[in-house]
Amino acid sequence: MRRVRYDSTGGPLFLEEAPVPTPGPGELLVRCEAIGVTLPVVRKVTEAAEPVPLGGEIAGEVMAVGPGTGRFRVGDRVTGLCFGHGYADQALLHEGMASPIPGRASAVDAVALVRSGLVALGALEAARPRKGEAALVTAAASGVGHLAVQLARVRGAGRVVGAVSDAGKADFVRSVGADEVVTYEEESWGEPVDYALDGVGGEILTPAVVALTAGGRLVAYSSGGGTIRAYDLLVGAKSVIGFQMARIARGEPELYERWRQELWRLFEEGAVKPAVHGEFTLEEAAEAHAAVESRVNRGKVVLHP
């Protein structure tokens, strides 16, 4: 089989031939039909001290099952988060991280919706939204952000503001439900909001806090780091909440599953529609990474083996 690998930090991605892996206890062997490209994985290539397997969201057909598996059989269509080599024709997926793909959904739908949607929904839950409140979503055109805009609306937001790096993304962000769109460089981001979902971090944290009304909540779910001054929180009685999807997946599996089911229900009802920026072959993995790293994408970036 083919898989994508790299040999050194920041080094080029390349295809190699590798043996088909054998599923171990609790594992599924999945023939990958679609692979989601995420910013954390892109950052690993450029920042990790040594090369790591390119994992991430995969979707496809179960080809074999390991000992001790019981939820899925050969021929089932599944999606989930792969922690090993996921940029490949076939990949191993732990059964606990897998969920079925509904009949009318495609593999591309699955990788565009499930993991990014879980992060968006989890961050929204952490914000404790109330009906009629105003919401701000940074990185609003990203794979997670464009779903967060839609979910905030589903949860009753009275006004949704999308913040983006480039004004050229404004039409897209409005098309998925934002009432207003601002760019990071603007001096003011408009009227204050009750809560903000931040997927950027770094220098964007300060204006995101400024955008909050008194008592507002900022949910930080980005791997981009950054610093917030305690005084900026104190004067407005504002709060910052950190959200990490991995903690929910490992520590609260029942909640994780409930969120997955809610996402598929919203998808089937047409209330949430994942957008795909582009579909790349495994040979074009470097181009897919460049699209995510440069933040030009509008929606999800997907690899097709």
Domain count, the chain: 2
Same structural domain for residues 144 and 238?
Answer: yes
What CATH number should be reported for the domain holding residue 199? 3.40.50.720
Give a yes or no: residue 269 inside a domain.
Answer: no
Do 69 and 122 lie in a common domain? Answer: no
* CA-based nearest residue to 79, from 98, 102, 61: 98
Q: What is the DSSP letter of 271?
A: S
39-47 and 285-293 are packed helices; what angle lies between their axes, rounded to 10 degrees? Answer: 100
Report the pLDDT value the prediction gives residue 10, as an integer from 0 to 100: 87
Query: Which structural domain, as residue segments, surrounds residue 11?
Result: 2-101+275-304
CA 210 to each of CA 82, 137, 233, 285: distance values in angstroms, whole numbers, following the listed order: 37, 14, 9, 38
For the chain, 305 residues long, give each residue's pLDDT as a single digit of tens.
Answer: 999 999 998 889 999 999 999 999 999 999 999 999 988 899 889 888 889 999 989 999 999 999 999 899 999 999 998 999 999 999 999 998 898 998 889 999 999 998 899 999 999 999 999 999 999 999 999 999 999 999 999 999 999 999 999 999 999 999 999 999 999 999 899 999 999 999 999 999 999 999 999 999 999 998 788 999 999 999 999 999 999 988 888 889 899 889 989 999 999 999 999 999 989 999 999 999 999 988 888 999 999 98
- The answer on 39 and 95 residing in a single domain is yes
Whether 14 is in a domain gets the answer yes
Give the Cβ contact number of residue 157 at 10 Å: 26
Helix, strand, or coil (residue 222): coil
Cα–Cα distance for residue pair 145/184, rounded to 1 Å? 15
Assess whether 233 and 187 both reside in one domain.
yes
Domain of 16, CATH number, reads 3.90.180.10
What local confidence, expressed as pLDDT, does residue 198 receive? Answer: 97
Q: How far apart are CA 88 and CA 60, in angstroms?
A: 12
Instruction: Judge whether 264 lies within some domain.
Output: no
Helices (H), 214-280: 230-234, 245-251, 253-269
Q: What is the pTM of this model?
A: 0.90
Q: What's the pLDDT at 97?
A: 85
Q: What is the pLDDT of residues 51-72, one digit of tens each?
A: 999 998 999 999 999 999 989 9
| Three-class SS of 257-303 | HHHHHHHHHHHHHCCCCCCEEEEEEHHHHHHHHHHHHCCCCCCEEEE
Is 74 inside any structural domain? Answer: yes
Residue 113 in domain: no
Q: How many residues make up the chain in this entry?
A: 305
Asked whether residue 62 falls in the same domain as residue 137, the answer is no
Cα–Cα nearest to 90, from 185, 220, 2: 2
Classify residue 213: in a domain, yes or no: yes
Query: Residue 90 falls within a domain, yes or no?
Result: yes
